Amino acid sequence: MARHPYWHGLIRIALITLPVQLYTATRRASPVTLHEIDRTTGERIHRKDTTAEGRPVESEDIAKGFEYEKGRSKPRAQATRRQRRKSN
């Protein structure tokens, strides 16, 4: 079955005109999974109250973040900036 464009139009840059067609997505991208991490050390928190080594963590030191390398994590604010830089 042929897909039809959601929108079509022209983009003009200086003396060049480019035809553009916009299609809907064919599949969903996988979402970024956030983990809870210790704000001070960046270690991932297991069971919301201890790090991987079993060290207790206070609730105000727990933040959302993601693991970008094995054993290394970033808080969500830094993670969002990093994702924006990659997409540009």
51 has a pLDDT exceeding 70: yes
Residue 48, token pair as written in the block = 């919301």
| Per-residue pLDDT at 69 | 82
Position 18 confidence tier, pLDDT thresholds 50, 70, 90: very high
| Per-residue pLDDT at 27 | 75
Choose among 65, 69, 61: nearest CA to 80: 65
Does residue 21 form part of some domain? Answer: no
| Domain count across the chain | 1
Does residue 24 form part of some domain? Answer: no
Domain extent, residue 58, equals: 35-87
CA–CA distance, 34 with 54 (Å, rounded to integer): 20
